[in-house]
Chain A
Amino acid sequence: MSLRRLTKFKRLLSPFTTSRTLTTQQNQNINEEKETHFGFEKVKESEKERKVHKVFENVALDYDVMNDAMSLGVHRLWKDYFMCQLSPTDNTKLLDVAGGTGDIAFRFLQYVKNGNYKNCHVTVCDINSNMLEVGKIRSERLKHQPETISWKEGNAEELPFNDNSFNAYTIAFGIRNCTHIDKVLEEAYRVLQPGGRFMCLEFSRLENSYTQWMYDQYSFQVIPVLGQLIAGQWKPYQYLVESIRQFPNQEDFKRMIEEAGFRQVSYENLTLGVVSIHSAFKL
């Protein structure tokens, strides 16, 4: 289909177009402090952390239900696959950053239990205590051995851990919410032991521009509506879909990981590129 025909096609679907600059309407101030993005809104860097915190404070209780609704349950498959790719063995000390409600950590515990691997431990670190609370409650319900999992409040850009203290680091659907991605990567490098593995699961760019367009439509038309219907909140989900577009694409992110000092950096797209798994090693 030529570009012109695609434009005509787009016009037919005009009732479905929306103002994607919801948040920019409300922001008028631009001053000297360095700016970054909060979804499509421009904010001061110092503001972003607070705003992101607010988002997750609001969504914590409905987080899991919303994830299921938005992805029709597929996020579970992504996370399952992610853990399989990590393939932990004996003596794995995992740090799961932005691990909030525990999805990755719990899969880790299940994986090492299934494989009968010894001496494994996961530390869940998140900047938001509400998310950690939800995770703790879930963990209790699932009856995990308390010595295999710990919970720590902390900032991915300034981790409260010593150098070389973990041999695996994961961050799933968290890095795009951080203000300074380069700092997060530097910290990841610092806390990993030599030979340690970094893995990131994050929303990314679709390989095909037409499917990207369909995915955009779904994201902007449907997801905030679902947020309103299920969680009673529109804006956090508007932020969610905008922030996905602000995150670097697969190649750029790969470069950033290399710049932090990691080697053997690779990525794998899932679901046509809706999400991508980046893997790297501290060598």
Chain B
Amino acid sequence: MNINPLRAPSVRFVIKATAQRRLLSAGAEVFEHDFMEHHIPINSFQRTLLTVGSAAVSLMNPYRADMIACLGETSGEQALQEVLRTMEESEEGSEILNDRPRINTGTVDLDYLKRLPDGTLGKAYSNFLVDNRVTPDSRMTVQFVDDVELAYVIQRYREAHDLIHTVLQMPTHMLGEVAVKWVEAIQTKLPMCIGGAIFGPVRLKPKHRQLYRNYYLPWALKTGTEAKFLLNVYFEKRWEQTLSEFYQEMNIKPLEIRKTKKSIEGE
């Protein structure tokens, strides 16, 4: 889209063109305002510097979620275009692109999810947030993607990440994160996911490394290839769906390890 490295593209032009192409819902404008407020134009030199720098910092300190987010944005343009295409080709995906739903405590009724019966997607998500002590509000708004459509795609990916953890039944320790990254890498082809999946295991402790090699990795590779495209899932409209039904629909089989619970729970 932007062939001139001299200038960062004018985002106003892009937004106008997009609105004409897509039947955006009223709520979708909220994202546009957010996007405009946070957008930072960068040139190719700065993009390279940010990519290399954020990759290095992410490796050194995987708790710097902002650096992982940054890496995803600066290196993801091509992959995001593919993801966008895949979403456009699906009915549910297109709905998401039109509505541009956000996932945070303002948009999701966590109390309602808590009250849902066990075995539903919503209840599972609620449990996940509590068990792993995370909040959907911790996700940053995209800064370094110039195209508003692609920006929404990566924002959606970022906010749906915890839900992907939930449906894959992967906790947030390093082992679980790497498994999820493999699935995301295979499905989205985002360089940040691929990098995380390949380099993440370096940080695994010996016990987890064995589990990774014997169980998590083969499972993640299989699931990533066989499951349906996870970003096409309009999670917000499926809170009441049972997980078993979801798994059947999406062709996902959660990981089962025939060992004592102790060795899995580890750290």
A contact set with B: CB distance below 8 Å: 14-19, 22, 25-26, 221-222, 224-225, 228-229, 232, 234-235
Q: With A15-B44, A234-B143 known to touch, is A229 a contact of B6 (CB < 8 Å)?
A: no
User: Which residues of A sit under 8 angstroms from B41, Cβ to Cβ?
Assistant: 18-19, 22, 25
Chain B interface size, as a band, is: 20 to 34
Q: Which of B21-29, B46-54, B162-170, B229-237 contacts A (4 or more CB under 8 A)?
A: B46-54
| CB atoms of B6 and A228 under 8 A apart | no
Contact of B53 among A18, A22, A225 (CB under 8 A): A225
Smallest beta-carbon distance B87→chain A, Å: 28
Query: Once the chains bind, are B49 and A222 in contact (CB under 8 Å)?
Result: yes
**Which residues of chain A are near B7, meaning CB under 8 Å?**
17, 19
Judging by beta carbons under 8 Å apart, are A221 and B53 in contact?
no
- Contact call B67/A229, Cβ cutoff below 8 A: yes
Closest chain A CB from B267 CB (angstroms): 26
Q: Report Cα–Cα, A17/B46, bound state, in Å.
A: 9
Whole-angstrom CA separation of A17 from B42 in the bound complex: 9
Is B79 among interface residues, defined by CB-CB distance under 8 A?
no
Residues of A within 8 A of B44 (CB): 15
Give chain B's interface residues, CB within 8 Å of chain A: 5-8, 36-37, 40-46, 49-50, 53-54, 57, 64, 66-67, 70, 143
DSSP majority for the B interface? helix
Nearest chain B residue, comparing its CB with the CB of A16 = B45
Contact call B8/A18, Cβ cutoff below 8 A? yes
B70 cross-chain contacts in A, Cβ below 8 A:
228-229
**Cβ-neighbour of A229 out of B40, B43, B45, B50 (below 8 A):** B50
Contact B46 A22 (CB under 8 A): no
Q: With A222-B49, A228-B50, A229-B50 known to touch, is A18 a contact of B40 (CB < 8 Å)? A: no
Q: With A14-B5, A235-B40 as given contacts, are A221 and B50 in contact (CB-CB < 8 Å)?
A: no
Report which of B5, B8, B50, B143 forms a contact with A225, defined as CB distance below 8 A: B50
Q: A222-B49, A225-B49, A229-B53 are in contact. Are A16 and B67 (CB under 8 A)?
A: no
Instruction: Give complex CA distance A228, B53 in Å.
Output: 9
- Of chain A, the residue at the smallest CB distance from B46 is A225
Given contacts A22-B40, A229-B54, contact A15 B49 (CB under 8 A): no
Are A221 and B40 closer than 8 Å at their CB atoms? no
> Taking the nearest CB of chain B, how far is it from the CB of A247, in angstroms?
24
- Distance A14 CA – B209 CA, assembled complex (angstroms): 46
- What CA separation (Å) do A19 and B50 show in the bound complex? 16
Whether the pair B6, A14 counts as a contact (CB closer than 8 A) is yes
C-alpha gap A232/B54 in the complex (Å): 10
> Is there an interface contact between B143 and A232, defined as CB atoms closer than 8 Å?
no
Docked complex Cα distance between A228 and B8 (Å):
18
Q: How far is the CB of A100 from chain B (nearest CB, A)?
A: 24
